[in-house]
Amino acid sequence: MSYQVIARKYRPQRFGDVVGQEHVTRTLSHAIEQNRIAHAYLFCGPRGTGKTTIARIFAKCLRCVKGPTVEPCNECTECRAITAGNSLDMLEFDAASNTQVDKIRDIIIEQVKYAPASGKLKLYLVDEVHMLSASSFNALLKTLEEPPAHVKFLFATTDPEKLPATILSRCQRFDLSRISVKLIVDHLGQIARQEGVKIEPAAIQAIARGADGGMRDAESALDQLISFCGEQIVETDVLSMFGLTAQSQILALSNAILKGEVGALLRELDDLTRHGKDLARLLSDFLNHFRNLLIYRISEGNLDLLQVSELEGAALAEQSAAVTTDALTRIMEVLTDAERQLRDATSKRIFLEVTMIRAVEARNAVSLDTVLRQLQALRSGSGAPAVVAAAPAPAPAAAPARPVAPVARPAPVPVPEPTAAPAVVTAPAPVPADPTPPAPAAASASPLDQMWTKLLEAIGRVSNFTRSYFLQAFPVSFDKNVFVIGFDPEFADQMALVDTARNRTLVTTKLGELGHPNAQVRFVKTAAPAGRLPAVQAESPAAPAPTVPVPRRAEAPAAKGAPTAPAAPEPPPPPPMNLNDFKNDPLIQKAVEVFRGRIVEARPPAAS
């Protein structure tokens, strides 16, 4: 007898033998038991998941001499004929080879009216049915909708989206899922024992991982490995034959990214490249590992949601303690973009190296909201020290060179006059944007400003991304239950992003929660009034009072009458700030130093 490959030798012959598709086999079994057998069935799913196999088992259940029965005998003439594929009343053909409407008419439409040669039912199994032409589908519609009582149709396809809706509506559809790694590992272990082959657990795990949910792919790989290795199969044989990466190497790469060890990362990647590993598959496995790590962290260590080995489960527990959810999300965004672009890259190795370095940078990156919060903290804390830095006359040049070190400590000067706002406003000649907001804002914030701050906080709790659109906006008025939100002409492009039905609903909902039900929202383009700051500045607790103008350079002359005499030794006030002044601003330089960033673009402030 000729050799039979493992995929055919161990092909399931009854519903109980099918692996990983219980939702389909159970439904079909109940349909047979209750005598609720439809006239057309459609089996959809990826390759190698059991579509044709389940269709044949179902046919044997209907055609068996004991049938209809849930357990075919597999011994009668009809069961053996269906298994061998030569049954006269179980016509099986490939739609890819019979796409023309004439063949469909000859094979099906003209033959359905004839009774079966034996038994009660005649069955038609059409594999890859989506390959039929549009004319063939149209010719089949009437027959498929109202076939004779003795005819049943069984369709199988890997691409159900290509089927016309008129065909789908006439069939009972079953979607087969990819088979889990654990089930594939267990099934391959049984086959190896029956074949007398010794195989390492890590080798079976590698085969199952490379099969991508297809049992036939896994069985074909095992068949090939037996021919290559004989009766002893180890993990290195599997990795070398299929270009896969060992799980330990993927864990080593992920550890290097999480620890920021770029050198170790590039060395490991170079070793994998020199050994001929499939870089596309490596990136896919790498992305899947970080997906498992993210789910493990979110689910608080629940391994039931993951299909991982014991080694990987222990590694997930260790790595999850060293990374945050936000960092994992940023890393996965980098890897996902790279997976989409890798096939178009001229040099896949260089592209993957750059991707890994970007993943390390994403691990150490800081979110925009964090940057804004810390920047506001620096800005609010630098207002008082600016006055103090001017007091020590012995080293006036040291204050501009390193403003943060001396400025952060001497905070006692604002304390003697807690109620006198002019003391804080007078001294900020060198950094006028910083000292003005803190004192006056908290004391003189208008009800409209307070409501705007609470509204931004409420929107941020729902979506920080949506809240970022409002950072350049400012409240204009709230009259007759209509809340008017303004955008300076410089930021008019932001208004187009904000003025949507979804954002309107969100704002009105949050206004209702703040005690203003049934409020309406209107967005307008208007210049920011002299006392009104955009949301990016007004959201801090030191929001400027409406009486303080945005361009605070005009306050320097008014500050001359203030009682703070120590401001005299301060270096002469700088000229009106332009783009270069912005880049040289001590606070901006400190922010760049703290966040290890670089200035990409600098916008001048909006004219008031």
DSSP state string for 86-119:
--SSEEEEEGGG--SHHHHIIIIITTTTSPPSSS
Confidence of residue 105 (pLDDT cuts 50, 70, 90): confident
Highest mean pLDDT among 42-46, 242-246, 379-383, 390-394: 42-46
Whether residue 68 is preceded by a cis peptide bond, meaning omega within 30 degrees of 0, is: yes
Of 301-310, 485-494, 498-507, the one with minimum mean pLDDT is 301-310
Angle at alpha carbon of residue 545, lines to 539 and 551, rounded to 5°: 90
Strands 232-233 and 198-199 come out as parallel
The DSSP secondary-structure symbol of 219 reads H
Q: Are residues 345 and 375 in the same domain?
A: no
Q: Which of 175, 198, 232 lies at the terminal end of a domain, its last residue?
A: 175
What element of type H or E holds 362?
helix 348-364
pLDDT in tens, 291-303: 888 888 888 877 7
Percent of the residues in the chain that have a pLDDT greater than 70, as a whole number: 77
Q: Domain for residue 82, yes or no? A: yes
Q: Domain for residue 410, yes or no? A: no
Q: Are residues 25 and 170 in the same domain?
A: yes
Q: Which of 125, 146, 175 lies at the terminal end of a domain, its last residue?
A: 175
3-state secondary structure 400-434: HHCCHHHHCCCCCCCCCCCCCCHHHHHCCCCCCCC
- Check: CB of residue 403 under 8 Å from CB of residue 586: yes
Predicted pLDDT of residue 603: 58
Q: Domain for residue 286, yes or no? A: yes
Report how far residue 537's alpha carbon sits from residue 46's, in angstroms, rounded to the nearest whole number.
54
Q: Are residues 516 and 552 in the same domain?
A: no
Q: Are residues 427 and 571 in the same domain?
A: yes
Q: What is the mean pLDDT of residues 12-26?
A: 91
Cα 100 versus chain centre, distance = 43
Q: What is the mean pLDDT of residues 113-127?
A: 87
Give exposure, 427-458, as e/b (b: 16+ Cβ within 10 Å): bbbbbbbbbbbbbbbeebbeebbebbbebbeb
The DSSP secondary-structure symbol of 600 reads -
DSSP state string for 502-525:
HHHHHHHHHHHHTT-TT-EEEEEE
pLDDT in tens, 427-458: 344 444 444 444 444 445 688 888 888 888 88
- List the helix and strand counts (H, then E) for the chain: 30, 10
Q: Is the pLDDT at 557 greater than 80, yes or no?
A: no
Q: Is the pLDDT at 207 greater than 70, yes or no?
A: yes
Q: Are residues 51 and 155 in the same domain?
A: yes
Q: What is the mean pLDDT of residues 379-400?
A: 42
**How many other C-beta atoms can be found within 10 angstroms of the C-beta atom of residue 131?**
17
Predicted pLDDT of residue 530: 63
Q: Domain for residue 414, yes or no? A: no
Residue 576 has, within 13 A of its CA and on its CB side, a CA count of 9
Q: What is the mean pLDDT of residues 310-335?
A: 84
Report how far residue 203's alpha carbon sits from residue 198's, in angstroms, rounded to the nearest whole number.
10
Query: How distant, in Å, are the alpha carbons of 40, 400, 414, 545, 568 from that of 564?
Result: 91, 20, 10, 21, 9
Q: What is the mean pLDDT of residues 321-348?
A: 86
Q: Are residues 569 and 513 in the same domain?
A: no
pLDDT in tens, 574-595: 444 455 656 666 667 767 776 6
Highest mean pLDDT among 56-70, 271-285, 539-553: 56-70
3-state secondary structure 528-570: CCCCCCCHHHHCCCCCCCCCCCCCHHHHHHHHHHCCCHHHCCC
What CATH number is attached to the domain comprising 252? 1.20.272.10
What CATH number is attached to the domain comprising 202? 1.10.8.60
Predicted pLDDT of residue 138: 86
Q: Are residues 356 and 373 in the same domain?
A: no
- Which residue is associated with the tokens 């965004």? 333
What CATH number is attached to the domain comprising 138? 3.40.50.300
pLDDT in tens, 494-536: 777 788 888 888 888 888 888 888 888 888 888 877 655 554 4
**How many other C-beta atoms can be found within 10 angstroms of the C-beta atom of residue 104?**
24
Kindly report each contact of residues 490-495 with a partner whose C-beta sits within 8 Å and lies 24 or more positions away, as own/partner. 490/603, 490/606, 491/534, 491/606, 492/525, 494/469, 495/523, 495/525
Q: Is the pLDDT at 263 greater than 90, yes or no?
A: no
Task: Please give the torsion angle defined by the CA atoms of residues 40, 44, 48 and 52, in that order, rounded to the nearest 10 degrees.
Answer: 0
Q: Which of 157, 175, 193 lies at the terminal end of a domain, its last residue?
A: 175
Predicted pLDDT of residue 305: 73
Q: Domain for residue 409, yes or no? A: no
Of 152-161, 466-475, 547-556, the one with minimum mean pLDDT is 547-556
Q: Domain for residue 408, yes or no? A: no
Residue type, 291: R
**Pairwise pLDDT comparison (397 vs 512), residue with the higher score:** 512
Predicted pLDDT of residue 587: 61
Predicted pLDDT of residue 139: 86
Highest mean pLDDT among 15-24, 228-237, 415-424: 15-24
Q: Are residues 88 and 35 in the same domain?
A: yes
Q: Are residues 341 and 386 in the same domain?
A: no
Percent of the residues in the chain that have a pLDDT greater than 90, as a whole number: 13
Predicted pLDDT of residue 600: 65
Predicted pLDDT of residue 458: 87
- Check: CB of residue 39 under 8 Å from CB of residue 153: yes
**Pairwise pLDDT comparison (85 vs 429), residue with the higher score:** 85
Q: Is the pLDDT at 558 greater than 50, yes or no?
A: no
Go through the chain and tell me how many residues it has. 608
Q: Are residues 526 and 591 in the same domain?
A: no
Q: For residue 82, which of 52, 60, 53 has the smallest C-alpha distance?
A: 60
Confidence of residue 38 (pLDDT cuts 50, 70, 90): very high
Predicted pLDDT of residue 390: 33
Q: Domain for residue 259, yes or no? A: yes
Give exposure, 74-87, as e/b (b: 16+ Cβ within 10 Å): eebebbebbbeeeb
The DSSP secondary-structure symbol of 176 reads P
Q: What is the mean pLDDT of residues 331-352?
A: 87
Report how far residue 449's alpha carbon sits from residue 555's, in angstroms, rounded to the nearest whole number.
22
Q: Are residues 16 and 103 in the same domain?
A: yes
Q: Is the pLDDT at 265 greater than 70, yes or no?
A: yes
Mean per-residue pLDDT of the chain:
77
Predicted pLDDT of residue 531: 55
Q: Which domain holds residue 114?
A: 6-175
Q: Are residues 60 and 162 in the same domain?
A: yes
% helix / strand / coil in the chain, to the nearest 5? 55, 10, 35
Predicted pLDDT of residue 439: 41
**Pairwise pLDDT comparison (361 vs 399), residue with the higher score:** 361
Contacts of 158 (CB under 8 A, 6+ apart): 44, 45, 46, 47, 51, 128, 130
Q: Domain for residue 477, yes or no? A: yes
Q: For residue 151, which of 224, 76, 90 has the smallest C-alpha distance?
A: 90
Q: Is the pLDDT at 167 greater than 80, yes or no?
A: yes
For the chain, the domain total comes to 5
- Which residue is associated with the tokens 């790498």? 286
